[in-house]
Chains A and B, each alone.
Chain A
Amino acid sequence: MDLLLAVRLYINKMIDESGPGMKVLLMDKETISIVSVVYAQSEVLRKEVYLFERIDGGGNREIMKHLKCICFVRPTRDNVDNLCHELKFPKYGSYYIYFSNIIPKTDIKQLAECDEQEVVKEIQEFYADYLAVSAHVFSLNITNIYHEFNWVPETLNRVMQGLSSTLLALKKAPLIRYQNSSEMAHRLAERIRQLMAKESSLFDFRTAGPQPVLLILDRREDSVSPLLNQWTYQAMVHELLGIQTNRVSLADVPNIAREMQEVVLSTEQDEFYAANRYANFGEIATSIKQLMEEYQTKAKMHTKVESIADMKTFIESYPQFKKISGAVSKHVTVIGELSRLVAQNELLQISELEQEIVAGQLDHGDCFQRMRQLIANPKVTSLDALRLVLLYTLRFEKDPNRDSHTFAEMLRKKGLPERWLQLPDKLARFGGSRFRLTDLFHSETVSADAFMRRLTKGIRGVENIYTQHVPLVKDLVDQLIKNRLKEPAYPYLGGVELKERPQDIFVFVLGGMTYEEGYAIHELNKANPSCRVCIGGTTIHNAKSFLEELWNADQP
């Protein structure tokens, strides 16, 4: 159940099928991300893929008959039309066409009728229609899916396709469970089931052991996770700098070197990142120090190349040295920027208060006081002030003392744009207690495990005040693993129930997941070796992108 490996295998297969010779990879806007997330350019170079072109990039590509064309595109109308044109006037010697999802027969027919030069050698469906962020995390990279709290119709279709492609890539035909309170989750579940029924020959996977389970959740159930400041490396980078298809833009960092304006954080090519993306900020500092020291000893060794022996050691460790020096400068820059932001924006104080609010043990009066102080602090950014107010809104939604007016005034004074001031009300409609099944703030027990956790917390004290929050998804999946997830709140679609504990689990969060949740699932995978859990979302949110999603959600 490795989502990333699945995409890599598909791409390997494409390249292998075209045989030896110079190749060009023809892609569309979306598949280009799908490929670039799992493959580095140098890796595909070695396989003779020398050029990368966009099928939707206008008709200015040159004719190069000595190239083989591997065409990997989504099965959209536009792509089929473009491809028809391409085949009528072929620019390359031969074509190997791969669609990233199910394509109607009529489209195949249309293409066949255009291939008058007989250049097409293969035409297949390879179900790599999702961004494989890591082995167990995927994203569909779609934002703004809500329209008046319901699906935007085209989006529903696209999400259904993306989600079903993960099932096909991993060869799973799961039972479907969905969040009962969400009509959108229900509709998506229905669509997936319809597809599985319609393409029953495709979804005919025999599996040993219990049937896999797909659990569909709605972001509205837990608006807290995307609002919090994060302290694990990956989540923190996304929160403070933003990760887009493994790329982080550092263009806004003061005095940044030109080659560092955009860096790539990929678990496939960057060992340090792979090993440390779930480490928290303090640990990262230690790790980077180790890396630096290693680098410095190596560098020192290299500066005094005097004897032949020195020379030899230099040559022997050269490739490794180069690799380290690249990684060092990259991560030092990123971490340096993170600490600058932490200090500049008072993030420690903010995060502490955030965590206390969501832990549910802070009473209104205290909270009110501390928030007023923090928001008044000029170092606190308006975004951070806003997220505090939003958390406050959720936490004290039903509290008679709730005073949203004061905070609205303070935010206005901080210069927050007028439209953002509507967000607290929007959030109450989006993820308020009227919609939610669970109490996010633990004033009553969610599950036996959450209860146990609180108990031990009470006894042993909190180990780390900045990372107390455990996302709801972790509780839900934990219950699902133990086959204790409540049936009425998360019913099975179609009445077939799983009697035993599931082994393979897909979790899908419509409205977007968070890296915090990805980390939580990673922890569950480690703790339950007999289970394999994958999590995905329509996108991966940080606070900023979540607020956009929220703002658009009930915009008429």
Chain B
Amino acid sequence: MSRSVPRSSLTPQRPTAAEVVVREGFICPICMQDLGTIDELQEHFERDHTEEDKSILQQLKGMLLKKVGRSTSPTPERRNGGGGLSDDEGGGFHNDQLITWDPQDDGDVTSHTEYFRKIRDNRMERFMVETNKLIIRLDKLVHEAPSDPRQRAVFEKHLASWVPDHDVPVCPGCGKTFKRFMRKHHCRLCGCVICTECSRFLDEAFVERLTNPVGAALSRSDDSSRRGSDTKPGPGMKRSNSSESLMSIMASMGSKDKEQVVRACEICRGLLDRRLKQMDEKYEKTELEELNERIVFAISDAENLYPGYQEMAASLHAGETNFQLQQAVELRNQLMRLFDTVDLFGKRVAALPETTSPVEQKLRSKIRMNAMDFLKSHVLSMSVLPSPEKCEELQRTRREEIKRNMAAKRAADDERKRQLLSRNNHHDSPLSARKKPDKPKTASKNPFDRSTQKGSSSNPFEEDESDNDDSLNPFAADDDEEVPPKTKRPETAGRQNGWAAEPVRADELDQDDDPVLQQIEIVKKTIEQAKRAGRMDEVLSLSQNLSDLTLFYKQQVLQQL
């Protein structure tokens, strides 16, 4: 029992060395040979292992299901993130990221918008008709009423069809009974009877705004029709159209200077109030809003361009010729302009005239914060471009590097071939092959180790690789088996050293293959990478290499026969 502060992993069972190597793919359970597809595996099995004891098979099957079976499981996405071994991730990293579940779509959603609109629009339709009616009457009252008081009274009575006085014993507004000396008033808009207290006069400005929306008000109503059709094409459109036409009719009738004011009841007044409020609603864009919009546009433009530029810069630093320096400089200037825009408008937000509203203050500071955050995270980490001379120099060193690499590689290949010939015979017994995977470390002692494969000991990848995966998880390679080579790698490493293929790992390949076959595999993969990186010269020389190797292998097989 340990008495020190708890250090060891919480899980009691640490896997033994035998369990450690989890291999994936279609691996024959008897000779541990990796077959590419399930068909091949089946064929291989029937061909090579039919004589073997079926009971062993049964035993192995269980194991196969547990260990290897994951690769054939119905959820292949999980395999790569599954973290190899369940209990031991090494390095004390108990990271949730190691469990990656299937990609997930949005959660369930129920929309009530349609139902909501239906109810709202029904209701609004009623108001709208009523309000429009009132406005027409109001307009007539103000603009068409005869000036003679008696005629005028008749006109008013007719227009709104006044309710007879004697029908109304109680004021509908406040509920008071009409006593003898209390005046009964009529609402000029709807004709109902109300007491003095409950009646209001609509002042001139109010009436004017509703009935004669000239100038700015006219443009406001235009705005309203546009907005209306923007947001809801259905009934909204109809409504705003009708109100617009109404406005224009009234505007055309436009004689202005009437002094009258109109007596109305609370209800009519409320309806008209709402209409006015809606007209006010059509606000104009504030300056702050405009500034924010500019900032956000600039940020999103910059965010689109940024990764492309970084890639370009990295490629140029690596001495590659994929991009022109001129191109990159232009892109850089474009980005700098966008950064400037963000900065400029951010400053203008700060320079807006003082406001007393704390919320407005807060809003401004948040907008500025957003701009500053963006600049901090992007401007500082932006790569610097090499000067034209430097660029040329980089390209030259890279070409030399490649040449050197190729030469070294050739030499190494020759060396390897020679070694192969001598070692050849130890490699084809299935028994010895079966033991191999139990010793993961053999990979490094193997002459086909990465460094010799690459033929250049100064390959920067070696550090890269061991820094990233290997130290954290020595068995990551098993998981990576079918992952296409990471495309990012060549860029980052290439920065110092020119293009270099990502090493095809020794343990990535099946170790039981004939070493020559392995080598062929490696060269093939390297060619793929070279193609992807657009290095046609490499592809050519490697293809030459490949055909040499295939020839050699054929000869070898013939010899054996």
Contacts and interface: CB of A to CB of B under 8 A. Distances in A.
Nearest to B296: A48
Interface stretch (A177-185, A239-247, A280-288, A326-334): A280-288
A538 to B, nearest CB: 21
Interface residues of B, number: 84
B249 interface: no
A135 interface: yes
Interface in B327-384: 357, 359-360, 362-363, 366-367, 369-370, 373-374, 376-377, 380-381, 383-384
A116 B127 contact: yes
Contacts of B110: 102, 124-125, 202
Interface in A299-340: 312, 315-316, 318-319
A66 B286 contact: yes
A51 B363 contact: yes
Contacts of B3: 465
Interface string A512-550: 000000010011011111101000000000000000000
Contact of A108 (B116, B360, B362, B367): B116
A interface secondary structure, majority: mixed
B104 A5 contact: yes
A453 B274 CA distance: 75
Given A1-B101, A171-B107, A51 B362 contact: yes
Interface residues of A, number: 97
Interface string A331-360: 000000000000000001000000000000
Nearest to B123: A113
B233 interface: no
A62 B359 contact: yes
A312 B70 CA distance: 46
B468 interface: no
A116 B236 CA distance: 13
A507 to B, nearest CB: 16
B97 A274 contact: yes
Interface stretch (B88-96, B182-190, B514-522): B88-96
Contacts of B299: 46
A21 B295 CA distance: 11
A257 interface: no
B119 A117 contact: no
Contacts of B123: 112-113, 116
B420 interface: no
B43 interface: no
A112 B120 contact: yes
Contacts of B1: 461-462, 465
B560 interface: no
Interface string B6-50: 111111110000000000000000000000000000000000000
Given A113-B123, A117-B278, A231-B6, A2 B101 contact: yes
B219 interface: no
B517 to A, nearest CB: 32
B108 A45 contact: no
A168 B383 CA distance: 46
Interface in A50-92: 50-51, 61-62, 64-67
B232 to A, nearest CB: 8
A424 to B, nearest CB: 28
A135 B123 CA distance: 45
A108 B112 contact: yes
A464 B104 CA distance: 38
Given A45-B366, A526-B99, A21 B124 contact: no
Interface string A1-37: 1100110011001000000111000000000000000
Contacts, number: 230
A334 B74 CA distance: 43
B288 interface: yes
Contact of A463 (B2, B95, B277, B366): B2
Contacts of A467: 6, 10
B107 A128 contact: yes
A405 interface: no
A35 to B, nearest CB: 15
B111 interface: yes
Interface in A454-493: 456-457, 460-467
Nearest to A205: B108
B239 to A, nearest CB: 10
B107 A169 contact: yes
Interface string B79-109: 1001100110000111111110110111111
Interface in B418-463: none
A337 B92 CA distance: 21
Contacts of A50: 362-363, 366-367, 370
A279 B94 contact: yes
Contacts of B369: 42, 45
A36 B236 CA distance: 37
B212 interface: no
B6 A267 contact: no
Contact of B99 (A42, A105, A285, A525): A525
A188 interface: no
Nearest to B107: A169
A108 B359 CA distance: 30
A453 B13 CA distance: 9
Interface string B379-395: 01101100000000000
30 contacts: A10-B106, A22-B363, A22-B367, A50-B367, A61-B359, A65-B283, A66-B289, A67-B363, A108-B112, A115-B120, A116-B124, A118-B120, A118-B124, A126-B107, A171-B108, A232-B10, A277-B94, A278-B10, A286-B92, A319-B377, A319-B380, A453-B12, A462-B1, A463-B2, A463-B8, A463-B12, A464-B8, A465-B3, A522-B99, A528-B86
Given A64-B359, A121-B231, A312-B384, 6 more contacts: A9-B104, A22-B292, A50-B366, A109-B119, A117-B277, A124-B112
Interface of A: 1-2, 5-6, 9-10, 13, 20-22, 42, 45-46, 48, 50-51, 61-62, 64-67, 93, 102-103, 105, 108-109, 111-113, 115-118, 120-128, 134-136, 168-171, 202, 205, 209, 231-232, 267, 274-283, 285-287, 312, 315-316, 318-319, 348, 453, 456-457, 460-467, 519, 522-523, 525-530, 532
